[in-house]
Amino acid sequence: MSFQNPVFIPGPTNIPESVRKACDMPTLDHRSPAFARIFRPAVEGVRRVLKMDAGEVILLPSTGTGGWEAAITNTLSPGDTVLAARFGMFSHRWIELGHVHGLNVQIIETPWGQGAPLQAIEAALKADANKTGGGTIKAVLATHNETATGVKSDISGIRRAMDAAGHTAMLFVDGVSSIGSMAFQFTGWGVDIAVAGSQKGFMLPAGLAILGVSPKAIEAMETATLPRTFFDFKDMLTSYARGGFPYTPPVGLIAGLAHAIDLLEGEGLENVYARHHRLAEGVRCAIMAWGMTPYAATPDLYSDTITAVKVPAGCDGTALVQLAASKYGVAFGVGLGEVAGKVFRIGHLGMLTDVMVLSGLATAEMCMADLGWPVKLGSGVAAAQDYYRGTVPALALAAE
Amino acid sequence: MSFQNPVFIPGPTNIPESVRKACDMPTLDHRSPAFARIFRPAVEGVRRVLKMDAGEVILLPSTGTGGWEAAITNTLSPGDTVLAARFGMFSHRWIELGHVHGLNVQIIETPWGQGAPLQAIEAALKADANKTGGGTIKAVLATHNETATGVKSDISGIRRAMDAAGHTAMLFVDGVSSIGSMAFQFTGWGVDIAVAGSQKGFMLPAGLAILGVSPKAIEAMETATLPRTFFDFKDMLTSYARGGFPYTPPVGLIAGLAHAIDLLEGEGLENVYARHHRLAEGVRCAIMAWGMTPYAATPDLYSDTITAVKVPAGCDGTALVQLAASKYGVAFGVGLGEVAGKVFRIGHLGMLTDVMVLSGLATAEMCMADLGWPVKLGSGVAAAQDYYRGTVPALALAAE
Amino acid sequence: MSFQNPVFIPGPTNIPESVRKACDMPTLDHRSPAFARIFRPAVEGVRRVLKMDAGEVILLPSTGTGGWEAAITNTLSPGDTVLAARFGMFSHRWIELGHVHGLNVQIIETPWGQGAPLQAIEAALKADANKTGGGTIKAVLATHNETATGVKSDISGIRRAMDAAGHTAMLFVDGVSSIGSMAFQFTGWGVDIAVAGSQKGFMLPAGLAILGVSPKAIEAMETATLPRTFFDFKDMLTSYARGGFPYTPPVGLIAGLAHAIDLLEGEGLENVYARHHRLAEGVRCAIMAWGMTPYAATPDLYSDTITAVKVPAGCDGTALVQLAASKYGVAFGVGLGEVAGKVFRIGHLGMLTDVMVLSGLATAEMCMADLGWPVKLGSGVAAAQDYYRGTVPALALAAE
Amino acid sequence: MSFQNPVFIPGPTNIPESVRKACDMPTLDHRSPAFARIFRPAVEGVRRVLKMDAGEVILLPSTGTGGWEAAITNTLSPGDTVLAARFGMFSHRWIELGHVHGLNVQIIETPWGQGAPLQAIEAALKADANKTGGGTIKAVLATHNETATGVKSDISGIRRAMDAAGHTAMLFVDGVSSIGSMAFQFTGWGVDIAVAGSQKGFMLPAGLAILGVSPKAIEAMETATLPRTFFDFKDMLTSYARGGFPYTPPVGLIAGLAHAIDLLEGEGLENVYARHHRLAEGVRCAIMAWGMTPYAATPDLYSDTITAVKVPAGCDGTALVQLAASKYGVAFGVGLGEVAGKVFRIGHLGMLTDVMVLSGLATAEMCMADLGWPVKLGSGVAAAQDYYRGTVPALALAAE
């Protein structure tokens, strides 16, 4: 376990030096005013990253899964109907979570590799709205970036579909693998709950679910009867108002979150998103040079944080991931569920440089050669080099 | 925020240097075999600390509160009856959590300062067992160490009461502020679920609930209908069996847990408990020298991890805590709930030395003098010095 | 080796959390402009701490001993005469270093416990100045704070003595255990070379000698024939001018130095000196309460960074130091040279709080009781508590 | 300053995670037995790395330059004659240091790119040995690995030349950029002083010169009259014998040294050397693929730690280094002295992986393309990939 090579998993991401130091904090009395001085900037920073004009930020000592659960248990009651499209492992898991909590999940089955089907969503909402007695769908569950397939969905389009249907359901968005790395507009897109995790775009260790909650979702909390204690928004907001936390908070992670947002804003959020786009484009250049394609069906669906690479017929993506780990000490992601073996995944989110990405691509090529895949060594690297060297932003050139 | 003085809150505790380094880990692929090499020793270590002969250890990215919730939601169904005594803020909170989750909590009200009332528990269980149609109590909720009052309860005695009543309820124990610092016997005491937190005796940052679960509790999981996903034991155990985790785990905390247990076992668990007893006795010597007493009603109830100091009439414990923080940069605990103002609390758990405790006592004395309390400077320190210097274990003397 | 208790040695001192993080730096190309961005603030900060209006700051990867050597080899030639008073182990060592390097050291023997003898120095300089053919003394070696005896000398007074004698010798000052903790005026006192070390008032690990060098001393460098390479000022200044270093510099220590000076200036240098005075006064209150005295002969000589405590007749200071380490895990300093056994030394410099000092005093008392010294437990602590609680600066009270 | 990319300078090298943690140590009383428990394993480890059967290891808080100076000042007297070949910047600097210290340096001028000229050395020694009155050469200064040109010299051959000449001069070896990364045999090669630095093969921050000293060199110390205090071997050895240090040691660096040697020995010294050879071979494959050559004149001279790449006519190696730093955030080494501009240098020593080296090569290629050099993107990377993937040791494959 040498920690020398970067990781290229779809999260957790490589933690920047200064973020590690910010998280590594001695014990602090979380009931003292010192805690509020750490907590408030973190909360305010999240608000800016999410682009929230109204509503509340909630930090749960948990992960994205806990964030999904909290979104549901704080706003819904057993038997409530929610609408969700299934097109990958993570959209699937959220649906399963709804089932476990007794929701009636109306599922729009969608091929993996596709994103959220806007027309089908609009149709389902219209049908619901036109029901005798009014609509029953309480919330739409949307996966902004499907980590399993490297597919980005159009959340703004879902909002437009909801508006077109004249439906008043809430919009819950899983932004775990997008927020902090890809543009997100909580207020602009009419999101009611956004769920992020500390270990992706925020470049922190796992341990925090980061939520934005709209006034409408907060109001829903008053009538929701699903049980919750650890994830209870009301306890959170009551404590936050006093500068506290309802139980012992992970102070180091919260301090790290504030610092990570300082890094993001120091680079400039738009620059961060542009950097992720560049990194992703370079990866895609390499993939094309290998004669392969992203699993995402069309370019508009390409994720800028994760690429699932469709492997040639007869090749096993999982074998590549295992070989990269065992022979070269480099971590990629395997295909999950119905794309197991058919893809391998390259995570290119968080604090990455062109140079780091090139080392990942070079490693993938060596594995391909080792496995007898029909790929020329250096071909993908060269394509990415060519793209990167031509697109380094003026900013980076000006700075030293 | 200088971090120079130790903290004397009842947790989180002072984090040892080497534990901080163990937690501060670069990103590791939690789906690789490297994770299992970190995870398994942590789980096995917890098993030894809890003295578990059978059952499973479960680590939840959460806190003690999450551990309580998990204990209930994994084993019980809405409407189930549980028995609990209320004698402090933390026993109260667990009861409230039961209410929120739709349990029927049969409460034995007990004066704060007392511990679990063995006779009343036995009586309640007998009455329940003798009901027509058989007992309805599914679990007894017990607080091993009531953090609010510094009271230790006799868990072994509760088990004896349960056996005497011939009752088959499960025994759930909150050991958040005892486990790792005071003797605990999961199997010996017939515990079904024990809940600990990372930030007390395990000397880690907050962020992990650490649970021991008996085969009986695991079996209960099959029929329990309270909803849970993030805290689901079955998902955990299924993943653990493959060397994995159902979602992204807090790898650094888990590595730190394994290391912290190495420290505890390096010192020797019995020596750790003896050290906590010595530290606590020294604190109690100081309190007596001040003319005060612990809030715990009788010496057999004295906690070795936390002392709630009953303050003289007309004095305000909360004022002392605030002054210690603002004037001297030292953190003590305030009184909570019905003992607010009537006590201040000294946490003496985790990685503490005699010398550190003396600095806390000296600080408390300065605050008392500042507030005009009738206490002689140096009096408590001298009493503790005298006790400590006479009781340093041979081990410490031999080592260098 | 648990690192839990503070150290009370006369250096190295307790390293603040944030200084440790500033020093713990990944590899950086010291030939890149990034190095200059770390180095220049450190150098400019030292200039402000030393209160230098002219001259150069030089940082040597070394210790105070290396700084002494550098001062001599860069400015003097074999056979040159220097004047020095000997009144402790560290003034002695500098004299010995002069001998080794072939200097003619004119020694004014002075009782240990005394400081620099201003009249004798003035007399010696006058005698030298009046010699036929002019004075031969090239430099006066002065020890600002004699670490062995806890004695502060009057450097300003030495300058006045030099001026009164009309002597043009250079003034070299060992400020290793004073600079950063006690007031120092390089320009105001007419100092030609001041030598400090990283591990005392600058609160860093050992590894840097920190020197201020006057224009006059820089000029002396041109004719000095003692050989030097690693410590050569000219190589240093040539490299500095280009933003570089003549060999691989300890970048982390230099970054830490810049940060440590930020801490000192954040607190305010005058406040830092006042804090050290308060801490020292509290220690002296304790000593008096024990019926002992500082080894320094008179109050005007009391050092604010180190107190050598004269132990009662029949007592062995070294035994106390050994017992404190072996039984309580606390480090004090032994007596050196002719005061071996007659004193023990308490270092109270660097980043210390009242509370930390009280823990040291409490430990010393326990050792005294263990050794059968005629001291009442708690007596010194109480005296210091009383002093500290009455003198906490308004600043600390206002801040939180 | 993001610290994300590895550095490829010829030192300091990338510091492994665990070495950084070992160095980052709280304050420890260096006069306590705890220091010896850190110091002795470090010293013994160096002895094993150097393969010393007799003699002493000396650690100086300094750098390689200080180590050179210490070697000379502890064993020689003004006017003594030493023999040295000059074939690069670092052999030049050691010669200059000899001049500064008043030695008579008999220089064998050798073209840069060549190594130590064994025949000329033998001839010079024979001529000296045959002088009337016996030889005057006291020591031969040899540069094992000339960092400026990437040339390895045959130290064993020098010993054979000395033996063939029947000369009794001491053999001093600069192993700063070889020891710890390339095979070294202190006793086997008859070395009298070997000089290493902490920041190269030992993977530590700069701050320690690490010396092996033979019994013969120790004996020379008795008569050597060059002045030294900070670097005095006798003071060192006297203190070491008591488990101490003559002044405040850099304890963290020493702890880090012990740990770094644990890492080297954990991998196996022979495996470490083989890894460096593989890494270097891969770099050389890339260079050949670019149509360039190492600056070292012949393959037997190729260094396994540093490659100076001869750039095509009309190209400027320094421009590449500057562009790599400013555009891509990657550090290479410029050409020094007479090869300024004619080469750029790739450091491939310390804790590097194949994957890291590939990222360096990919960066160099992008710079070449940017500068219009006649190089095909991906060509060098492909050559290195091909070499690396075919030569990964069975050990790495077996381990996971």
Average of per-residue pLDDT values in chain A: 96
What digits encode the pLDDT tens for the residues C148-158?
999 999 999 99
Contact D333, D344 (CB under 8 A): yes
What is the per-residue pLDDT for C134? 78
pLDDT at B153 over 50: yes
Query: What mean pLDDT is predicted for residues B46-51?
Result: 98
CA-closest candidate to residue A287, choices A147, A381, A218: A381
Helix (H) or strand (E) holding D46: helix D33-50
Is B353 touching C (CB cutoff 8 A)? yes
Question: In this structure, how many other beta carbons lie within 10 angstroms of the beta carbon of residue A268?
Answer: 12
Contacts (Cβ under 8 Å, ≥6 apart) of B303 = B145, B146, B150, B151, B152, B177, B178, B182, B280, B296
Q: Is residue A230 a contact partner of residue A212, using CB atoms and an 8 Å limit?
A: no
pLDDT tens digit string along D357-393?
999 999 999 999 999 999 999 999 999 999 999 999 8
Hey, which bits of chain A come out as E strands?
56-61, 81-86, 104-109, 137-143, 145-146, 151-152, 170-174, 193-197, 208-213, 293-294, 306-310, 333-334, 343-347
> According to the model, what pLDDT value does residue D313 have?
96
The residue of chain D with its CA nearest to that of C21 is D24
Q: What is the mean pLDDT of residues B162-191?
A: 98
Q: What angle do CA D273, D277, D280 make, to 5 degrees?
A: 135
Per residue in D325-346, is it b (16+ CB within 10 Å) or e — as a string? bbbbbbbbbbbbeebeebbbbb
CA distance C25 to chain A (A): 9
Average of per-residue pLDDT values in chain B: 96
Distance CA C308, CA C362 (A): 17
pLDDT tens for each residue of A309-335? 999 999 999 999 999 999 999 999 999
The answer for D268, left when phi > 0, alpha when psi is -120 to 50, beta otherwise, is left
A-chain residues near D362 (CB < 8 A): 355, 358-359, 362, 381, 385
Task: Calculate how close chain C gets to D132, using CA atoms only, in Å.
Answer: 31
Give the pLDDT mean for D254-281: 98
| Shortest Cα distance, chain C CAs vs residue B262, angstroms | 14
Interface of D with B in 27-66 (CB under 8 A): 33-34
Tens of pLDDT along B205-261?
999 999 999 999 999 999 999 999 999 999 999 999 999 999 999 999 999 999 999
Residue A94 has pLDDT above 60, yes or no: yes
Classify residue C9 by its DSSP letter. Answer: S
Residue of C69, C103, C229, C253 to mutate for D, most D C-beta atoms under 10 A: C229
The confidence score (pLDDT) of residue D153 equals 98
Note down pLDDT in tens along chain C; length 400 residues. 579 999 999 999 999 999 999 999 999 999 999 999 999 999 999 999 999 999 999 999 999 999 999 999 999 999 999 999 999 999 999 999 999 999 999 999 999 999 999 999 999 999 999 988 878 999 999 999 999 999 999 999 999 999 999 999 999 999 999 999 999 999 999 999 999 999 999 999 999 999 999 999 999 999 999 999 999 999 999 999 999 999 999 999 999 999 999 999 999 999 999 999 999 999 999 999 999 999 999 999 999 999 999 999 999 999 999 999 999 999 999 999 999 999 999 999 999 999 999 999 999 999 999 999 999 999 999 999 999 999 998 756 654 4
Cβ-defined contact of C2 to B16 (cutoff 8 Å): yes
**Facing residue for B64 by CB, picked from A63, A247, A334:** A247
Pairs of CB atoms within 8 A across A/B: 150
Closest CA to B171 of B190, B152, B143, B197: B190
Residue D152 phi/psi, 5° resolution? Answer: -95, 130
> What tens digit of pLDDT does each residue of A10-24 get?
999 999 999 999 999
Q: How far apart are CA B122 and CA C101, in angstroms?
A: 87
* Omega before residue B12 within 30° of 0, cis: yes
- For residue range A208-245, what is the model confidence (pLDDT) as tens digits? 999 999 999 999 999 999 999 999 999 999 999 999 99
Distance CA(B395)–CA(C5), nearest Å, equals 18
Is A230 within 8 Å of B101 when comparing Cβ atoms? no
B195: three-class secondary structure by DSSP: strand
Of C352, C381, C396, the CB nearest to B327: C396
Helix (H, G, I), strand (E, B) or coil at C104: strand
Q: Is the predicted pLDDT of residue A400 greater than 50, yes or no?
A: no
B362 and C363: CB-CB below 8 Å?
no
Min Cα–Cα distance to chain D from C37, Å: 10
CB contact under 8 A, D369 and A378: no
Tokens 């000592």, residue located: A61
Compute the nearest-CA separation of C400 from chain A (Å). Answer: 8
C226-282: pLDDT as tens digits: 999 999 999 999 999 999 999 999 999 999 999 999 999 999 999 999 999 999 999
Q: Is the Cβ pair C327, B363 closer than 8 Å?
A: no
pLDDT (tens digit, 9 = 90+) per residue, D69-96?
999 999 999 999 999 999 999 999 999 9
Rounded distance between C-alpha atoms, residue A174 and residue A66, angstroms: 12
Instruction: Return the pLDDT at B108.
Output: 98
Question: C144-183: string of b/e by CB count within 10 Å (b at 16+)?
Answer: bbbbbbbbbbbbebbbebbeebebebbbbbbbbbbbbbbb
Residue B134: pLDDT band with limits 50, 70, 90: confident
Q: What is the pLDDT of residue D1?
A: 52
The pLDDT value recorded for residue C265 is 98
Span D154-169, average pLDDT: 97
Whether pLDDT at A197 is above 70 = yes
Complex ipTM more than 0.95, yes or no: yes
What is the token pair recorded at A186? 């909580």
Q: Kindly determine whether residue A17 and residue C33, on different chains, have CB atoms separated by under 8 Å.
A: no
What is the model's pLDDT at position D400?
43
The pLDDT, as a whole number, for residue B400 is 43
- Residues 301-340 on A with a CB inside 8 Å of D are 325-330
Compute the distance between CA of residue B99 and CA of residue B94 in angstroms, rounded to an integer: 9
Taking the Cβ of residue D363 and every Cβ of chain A, the question of whether any pair is shorter than 8 Å is answered with yes
What is the structure's pLDDT at B396? Answer: 64
Cis peptide before D215 (omega within 30 of 0): no
Each residue of C124-180: pLDDT tens digit? 999 999 988 878 999 999 999 999 999 999 999 999 999 999 999 999 999 999 999
Q: What is the pLDDT of residues B328-386, one digit of tens each?
A: 999 999 999 999 999 999 999 999 999 999 999 999 999 999 999 999 999 999 999 99
